[in-house]
Amino acid sequence: MTAIWAENLLKLQELDLEIRNLKLRLIMIPKETAAVKDRIAAIEAEVKNARDARQTHERELKQNEAEAQGLADKIAKLEQQSALVKKNSEYQAMLASIAMLKDSISTLETRALELMDMIDADGAAIREAEQSAKTASAGLRDELEELQSLSADVQKRIGELDSGRGGLRNMVDSELLSRYEMILKKNAGIPLVRVEADKCGHCHLRLTPQTLNYARSGAISYCDNCMHIIYCD
């Protein structure tokens, strides 16, 4: 039969261990929240990257068109000037310049077609990224709400347990309570442990016969090795 002092301390310990576990859970929530926010940011970055790619291609296409128009204007000017040239050598030089400019325009037109295809592909990529982001972000934002709700629930439960702790503390011997809370604050496992055969339930080392007999008598006892509180049931 478990001693009354051990029964009372076990009740307090059960409450304290629940508080400890809840506080550990509470510590993890901000980290989990940050991880979810990072995933949302990564998804939004994919959409931004797709949009940035299209803008880059659109700017290049605009520059391409302006450059092609500038070359076309030069060709028109050279053609007008060639009609006034009398020397054949100068005329041939102008024709060569016009041919080079036309080649450059042809290259620009080829690049323009490539850019148009890229812009079309960018549009498809943006739509796909936006759709994926919409679906994924919705789920992740639900996770954020759940974590916020969990945080509130955990804090509420800790408050409820704390409010009931005083009554349980009053049922425990002051010297025993001091030892118990010292071990608990060190987070050194479970302060009050059951004797398992002839060994401590915390460090699992053999107890001295005197300590074992003392614990079996129902008296407040401590492990000879780890100094945790021990009891027999």
Q: What is the 3-state secondary structure (H, E, C) of the chain?
A: CCCHHHHHHHHHHHHHHHHHHHHHHHHHHHHHHHHHHHHHHHHHHHHHHHHHHHHHHHHHHHHHHHHHHHHHHHHHHHHHHHCCCCCHHHHHHHHHHHHHHHHHHHHHHHHHHHHHHHHHHHHHHHHHHHHHHHHHHHHHHHHHHHHHHHHHHHHHHHHHHHHHHHHHHCCCCHHHHHHHHHHHHCCCCCCEEECECCECCCCCCECCHHHHHHHHCCCCEECCCCCCEEECC
More confident residue, 8 or 84: 8
% of the chain surpassing 70 pLDDT: 100
* CATH number of the structural domain 32-168: 1.10.287.1490
What is the pLDDT, as a whole number, of residue 210? 97
pLDDT digits (tens, 9 = 90+) for 159-186: 999 999 999 999 999 999 999 999 999 8
pLDDT digits (tens, 9 = 90+) for 13-49: 999 999 999 999 999 999 999 999 999 999 999 999 9
Q: Across residues 108-128, what is the average pLDDT?
A: 96
Q: Across residues 141-148, what is the average pLDDT?
A: 96
Q: Over 70: is that where the pLDDT of 188 sits?
A: no
What is the pLDDT, as a whole number, of residue 228? 96
pTM of the model: 0.71
